[in-house]
Amino acid sequence: MKFVQHQKISIHIFLLVGGSFIAEVCTAQDSSVVSPADSALLKQVEEQMQTNTPNQPAPAQPRSSLSFNPDIGVIGDFQASYISRGEKNFDMYLNETEISLQATVDPYLRADFFLSFGRDPETGKYGATVEEGYLTTLSLPAKLQLKAGKFREAVGRINPTHPHALPFIDLPNAYVNLFGEEGLNDEGVSLSWLVPNKAFYQELIVQTTSGFSESPAFARSEGNHLVYLGHLKNFFTLSDNATLELGITGISGPNDSSRTTNIAAADLTYKWKPVEMNTYKSVTWQSEFYYSHNNQIEDNAVNSFGMYSFLQYQVSKRWFLTGRYDYGQKPYNNSIKEQAYSLTAGWYATEFSKMEIEGKTTDDNIQPRFYQAWLRWIFVIGAHGAHQY
């Protein structure tokens, strides 16, 4: 065995020395003088040298800037709560985990999917659902844009926004009375048109959905009765520091009485953010108003009204205070009236995490006044798209 090993080593040395000698000769002479046999031998020696050099690094692979993976983000919503009535007053829980998958499909389409792993407050168990999943066109003519799939409908300012992005933890009473805790989130199509208005920004949205949304105002029809929505957004730039938005919405769809509920809504938002101090100071005043006409049985309809209004003041770079007033009548019984006051303090550490604490008091003409409090911690990992202005 030793003789064989020494023989192999001698052959390798001979090849290395011979290859170097041939390479020097070929370099010194004109290429036309080298014979085909010498070229073949040189190539063989070079291949043998590469094979017997284990420490030689592998050639670098070219890298491409193209990526076919979607932007992935995970949002966690941890909460602790207190309520003054009932047997269980305190609770702590991971309220929701949201996974977002967003990417451009091609030059014509964009896809957005939001998967929610939420907690059932009654059972405490977690379930998975598609919170949103839709396609959006990118190149339709005449300033049109089409969206199809499951999406949050264009009702005012709260409904299109995911709850973790709101400046308060609970939802306004009037909003919940009409649309439920999950809001209007349904399957259908949406067509928006950017109105060619040079004076101010104006957008018209028309949507048709199937009625799968679990809301007190609407229900899925057994026939061909769908939910129809129209929303007109008007956005004004008052100055370099201030903007004003006015929205008008109309909704019509089937209810649980196999008849029709019609809702008219209006939203008003004023924002002040000085250019020189925009990181440290801002004010937002936002209000929404709802009027519901609920047809229950023949010649019997319930008209109800609800609204909320909040004022948010930015105290410093990371601290925000939000005070809100709620008023609402029940859409199935307008004799029941609710009023609520709440105050929320939010610490926005970065764009990837925030902590908020809220206190609220509610009373109506049926039950005595009660109190609630929440603590919420929102944290984000991965890609996180910007929210609407």
Please check whether residue 56 lies inside any domain of the structure. Answer: no
Q: Are 138 and 109 in contact (CB under 8 A)?
A: yes
pLDDT top residue among 60 and 140: 140
pLDDT category, 30, cuts 50, 70, 90?
A: very low
Please check whether residue 359 lies inside any domain of the structure. Answer: yes
Q: What is the mean pLDDT of residues 39-60?
A: 55
**Predicted pLDDT at 51:** 53
**Predicted pLDDT at 16:** 44
Secondary structure letter of residue 352 according to DSSP? T
**Predicted pLDDT at 215:** 86
Q: Are 358 and 170 in contact (CB under 8 A)?
A: yes
- Domain identity same for 90 and 42: no
Task: Tell me the residue type at 187.
Answer: E
**Predicted pLDDT at 211:** 86
Among the residue ranges 19-28, 47-56, 82-91, the one predicted with the least confidence is 19-28
CA 213 – CA 207 distance, rounded (Å): 14
- Domain identity same for 27 and 162: no
Q: Are 206 and 144 in contact (CB under 8 A)?
A: no
Please check whether residue 58 lies inside any domain of the structure. Answer: no
Whether pLDDT at 203 is above 90:
yes
CA 73 – CA 384 distance, rounded (Å): 6
The helix or strand, by DSSP H or E, that contains position 139, with its residue range, turns out to be none
Please check whether residue 368 lies inside any domain of the structure. Answer: yes
pLDDT category, 349, cuts 50, 70, 90?
A: very high
- The pairing of strands 144-152 and 90-106 is unpaired
Cα-based distances in Å from 144 to 147, 204, 244, 353, 362:
10, 10, 24, 35, 43
> Hey, what's the torsion of the CAs at 120, 126, 128, 130, to 10 degrees?
30
pLDDT category, 50, cuts 50, 70, 90?
A: low
pLDDT top residue among 26 and 290: 290
- Domain identity same for 22 and 99: no
Overall domain count for the chain: 2
pLDDT category, 22, cuts 50, 70, 90?
A: very low
CA 235 – CA 243 distance, rounded (Å): 7
**Predicted pLDDT at 261:** 93
Q: Report the CATH number at residue 263.
A: 2.40.160.10
- Domain identity same for 131 and 45: no
CA 41 – CA 37 distance, rounded (Å): 6
Cα-based distances in Å from 345 to 10, 151, 269, 353, 358:
81, 30, 20, 14, 6
- Domain identity same for 27 and 164: no
CA 236 – CA 248 distance, rounded (Å): 15
Please check whether residue 182 lies inside any domain of the structure. Answer: yes
- Domain identity same for 22 and 123: no
Residue 222 has, within 13 A of its CA and on its CB side, a CA count of: 4
- The pairing of strands 319-330 and 333-350 is antiparallel
Per-residue pLDDT tens for 217-229? 998 888 889 999 9
Q: What is the mean pLDDT of residues 3-9?
A: 44
- Domain identity same for 135 and 10: no
Per-residue pLDDT tens for 254-302? 988 888 999 999 999 999 999 988 899 999 999 999 999 999 877 789 9
**Predicted pLDDT at 49:** 58
Task: Tell me the residue type at 11.
Answer: I
Q: Are 148 and 139 in contact (CB under 8 A)?
A: no
- Domain identity same for 11 and 159: no
- Domain identity same for 130 and 33: no
DSSP letter string over 283-320? Answer: EEEEEEEEEEEEEEETTEEEEEEEEEEEEEEE-SSSEE
Place of tokens 């349904």: 186
pLDDT top residue among 51 and 116: 116
In sequence order, what are the residues at sequence separation of 6 or more whose Cβ sits closer than 8 angstroms to the Cβ of residue 306? 173, 174, 175, 177, 178, 289, 290, 292, 327, 328, 329
Q: What is the residue range of 92's domain?
A: 72-382
